[in-house]
Amino acid sequence: MTVTSDSGDTEKTLLVGAPLKVLKKRDAENHLLELSQLVVSAGGTVVGIESQRISRPNPRFLIGKGKLQELVEIVKSTGANLVIFDDELTPLQGKSIEDHLKIRVMDRSELILDIFAKRARSREAKMQVELAQLQYLMPRLRRMWTHLSRIRGGIGLRGPGETQLESDRRLLGRRIATLRKRLESLSVARVNRRNSRKGEFQAALVGYTNAGKSCLLKALSKKDVLVEDRLFSTLDSKIRLADLGDGFEAMITDTVGFIRKLPHHLVASFRSTLEGIGEANLLMHVIDASQIDWKNQKTVVDEVLGTLDLEDIPQVLVFNKIDKLSRQEFLDLKYEIRNSQQTSAVFVSALNDKSLEILKTAMRSHLHESFRHISMRLMAGDGENLAILHEFGEILKQEYDGQYTSLEVRIPHRIAGRLLKSGNVTLLEEYFIA
């Protein structure tokens, strides 16, 4: 699954869209534009873009036979050696189209999997991508591995009792099982690391690919983070400590970007990584304000968060890249958001430190809502509750007077409520920030 030819030259790629007629024309155009960006991100060259609006998919070719014959001529005239469809092809459709065009055919899912395979850096990310690729490949073995053939039966010609295809499928099944087992063991280690961060305010950057999440993480943490203007530059989750001002800090996690029609095998493979977002006190949904299609991109992200049962975590919309907007465009966007009943939204540029202060203020506001800042007293020998305070909270001051230990702490609401209900802890004072 590659978009770069063995000769070192970029592959000449013809893109094909088959949008349903109910889809708006502008949306269909944006989909193909995004597909072309994916091809460039994978190292290919787009030599043509074709589209046919359909009422329903052709079960054999996806598109109509007339359009398919037209593609034969376009392939010849452009010299294309690869055709990529914007929609996922069934094994039958892929084989039928490839037989007709006489060149390699891919679909959007296979292209995205290829990009992920190239960008994966950590051991876990590489295994997650390989698992998704193998699950995608399994039902397509007959088309993709043309060397496979059935051993004929008969006297002197009886084979080992199974086809080469069945043998390869069994090998793939074993590899898939092995990868799942290894990923489960890594998942346990990840849970242990998350438990070590309990009590700290955690925020997660989520959003459409190339919305500027990594750039924001770098700007907020003042730490070196890979930043590239291309789709899926970040696959491995990164965690950085950020100073929010006024003595507050936050652990910020940068996650893999989402995209329209993200292969479901890929979402399943990365599910354990993404579930770590569930530990966050706040989701910062980063939106590229310069994108005309930002509403559809936001919907895609919301749908993925819904499949992961993360839609109930407090969320702030972070409209990034406002430096790319004209003053009037910026004012129109702010007016639209404020009149659309969005409860929390900020407008920033990762390149402008002054605008980032607005985001930090919003984060501090959510931090205050997630934690209680209180003074409490417990018996000097109450090591159990003292250990809970150290594990889940931040101890700002601690004094002993022989019989009691007095503490000033910042602690999550649920932990504070549990301790105060136990009867072993006395609330002395609660601090509220105006």
Residues 381-407: pLDDT tens digits? 888 888 888 877 788 899 988 889 999
Sign of the alpha-carbon torsion through 277, 278, 280, 281: positive
* Domain shared by 220 and 344, yes or no: yes
* Domain shared by 350 and 219, yes or no: yes
Q: What is the pLDDT of residue 192?
A: 63
Query: Average per-residue pLDDT in the chain?
Result: 83
The pLDDT-based confidence of 149 (bands split at 50, 70, 90) is very low
* Number of independent structural domains in the chain: 4
Residues in the chain: 434
* Domain shared by 303 and 336, yes or no: yes
The pLDDT-based confidence of 4 (bands split at 50, 70, 90) is very low
CB count within 10 Å of CB 61 equals: 18
* Domain shared by 360 and 246, yes or no: yes
Boundary (domain end) residue, out of 339, 368, 397: 368
Residue 159: is its pLDDT beyond 60? no
In a domain, 63, yes or no: yes
Percent of the chain with pLDDT over 90: 39
Residue 76: is its pLDDT beyond 90? yes
Phi and psi dihedrals of 269, rounded to 5?
-65, -35
Residue 277: is its pLDDT beyond 60? yes
**Spacing of C-alpha 176 from chain mean position:** 22
CB contact at 8 A, 257 and 175: no
Q: Which of 175, 139, 183, 177 is nearest to 271 (CA)?
A: 183
Q: What is the pLDDT of residue 2?
A: 40
In a domain, 3, yes or no: no
Burial class of 177 by CB neighbour count within 10 A (0 to 12, 13 to 18, 19+): exposed
In a domain, 1, yes or no: no
Q: What is the pLDDT of residue 160?
A: 45
Residue 275: is its pLDDT beyond 50? yes
State the number of CA atoms in the 13 A half-sphere of 209 facing the CB: 22
Q: What is the pLDDT of residue 273?
A: 63
In the chain, helix, strand, coil percent, each to 5?
Answer: 45, 25, 30
DSSP 190: H
* Domain shared by 168 and 293, yes or no: no
Q: What is the pLDDT of residue 224?
A: 67
Residue 432: is its pLDDT beyond 80? no
Mean pLDDT to the nearest integer, 405-415: 84
CA distances 346 to 233, 234, 258, 289, 423, Å, are 24, 23, 21, 11, 42
Q: What is the pLDDT of residue 49?
A: 96
* Domain shared by 351 and 382, yes or no: no
Mean pLDDT to the nearest integer, 265-281: 74
Residue 302: is its pLDDT beyond 50? yes
Residues in CB range of 414: below 8 A, 6 or more apart: none
* Domain shared by 134 and 36, yes or no: no
* Domain shared by 215 and 354, yes or no: yes
Residue 32: is its pLDDT beyond 50? yes
Which is more confidently placed, 229 or 369? 369
Which is more confidently placed, 327 or 235? 327
Q: What is the pLDDT of residue 157?
A: 37
H-type alpha helices, 308-400: 327-338, 353-370, 383-392
Q: Which residues span the domain enclosing 416?
A: 371-431
Mean pLDDT to the nearest integer, 127-138: 87
* C-alpha dihedral (166, 171, 172, 177), degrees to nearest 10: 130
Mean pLDDT to the nearest integer, 5-18: 75
CB contact at 8 A, 120 and 126: yes
* Domain shared by 423 and 321, yes or no: no
Residue 151: is its pLDDT beyond 90? no
Boundary (domain end) residue, out of 368, 386, 416: 368
Q: What is the pTM of this model?
A: 0.76
In a domain, 155, yes or no: no
In a domain, 2, yes or no: no
Q: What is the pLDDT of residue 263?
A: 80
Q: What is the pLDDT of residue 229?
A: 56
Name residue 57's amino acid.
Answer: P
Q: What is the pLDDT of residue 118?
A: 83
Q: What is the pLDDT of residue 191?
A: 65
Q: What strand order describes the sheet that includes 282-288?
A: 238-245, 248-254, 202-207, 282-288, 315-320, 345-347
* Domain shared by 235 and 268, yes or no: yes
| pLDDT single digits (tens) 180-239 | 888 888 777 666 665 555 557 889 999 998 899 989 999 999 876 655 555 666 666 788
* Domain shared by 357 and 219, yes or no: yes
In a domain, 302, yes or no: yes
Boundary (domain end) residue, out of 325, 349, 368: 368
Q: What is the pLDDT of residue 147?
A: 36
In a domain, 57, yes or no: yes
Whichever domain contains 42, its CATH number is 3.40.50.11060
* Domain shared by 405 and 339, yes or no: no
Residue whose entry in the numeric block shows the structure tokens 């999997």: 113
In a domain, 410, yes or no: yes
Cα–Cα distance for residue pair 90/260, rounded to 1 Å: 18
